[in-house]
Amino acid sequence: MNEIIEKGLEAILPVYIKDRGNCTSIYTNDGEIILEKAIRSVITNLCNFYHLDLKASNKTYGDLLTIKKNTPIPFTYDKIFIPIKTRKPIAKHDGAYGYVNMDSIKKFSKSKIDNNSLIYIGNNRVIEVYSKVSTIQRNINNGKIIKRLFKRNDLIREANNLYIAEDTLATKKDIAMVYREIMEIKKGL
């Protein structure tokens, strides 16, 4: 997974491949990589890599944005992936939604087919999606809200006296805060 992430993630899309079934297409700055895993598995692996609790993230940001499903996934400040419907499922539990790095989107427009749209990302690649332009814009706006919250650290709600006791255990939240600070320092180097 590390090699793929180093190439720069632009989009993570579910695809059907004949004789292989449910797979995931990952667009990077260098090209396209096909993984023989379902998109849910790939997202779980990325969350593990970035130390992101997806369930907690969906709950927190879903509550803030007042949405129940398909919340953007904030792996890092500059890697916020917005959900986009990229295919029609043919079986139960098939993932219909892919995720596109909000910062990779150059433009989007209406397609000639029904309510479909086209998303243009790096290297002149085009992703056809089963969403209206207004839905794409709403998802981008939700991603921008999360990015602002992520930058300002508004979601860290803790009292200053939590760290007075010397022998207290670190929680997931404590570890996430330290990780976030390390990533900010790393960006500055």
Quote the mean pLDDT of the chain. Answer: 84
Question: CA of 147: how far to CAs of 80, 82, 95, 178, in Å?
Answer: 7, 11, 25, 18
Using a pLDDT cut of 90, give the percent of the chain over it. 26
pTM of the model: 0.75
Q: Which of 159, 164, 156 lies closest to 181, judged by CA?
A: 156
pLDDT of residue 46: 93
pLDDT of residue 157: 46
What is the mean predicted confidence (pLDDT) over 78-91? 86
Angle made by CA atoms 35, 7, 179, in degrees to the nearest 5: 100
β strands within the chain, DSSP E: 9-17, 21-28, 32-35, 73-76, 79-85, 97-101, 107-110, 117-121, 125-129
Is residue 52 over pLDDT 80?
A: yes
Output the six-digit token pair for 77.
């400040």
Q: CA 47, CA 51: separation in Å to the nearest integer?
A: 6
Output the six-digit token pair for 114.
């029904």
Q: CA 74, CA 92: separation in Å to the nearest integer?
A: 27
Q: Which of 22, 30, 29, 180 lies closest to 95, judged by CA?
A: 22
pLDDT of residue 47: 92
Who wins on pLDDT, 157 or 141?
141
Is residue 99 over pLDDT 60?
A: yes
CA 46 to chain centroid: 9
Q: Which of 120, 117, 118 lies closest to 105, judged by CA?
A: 120
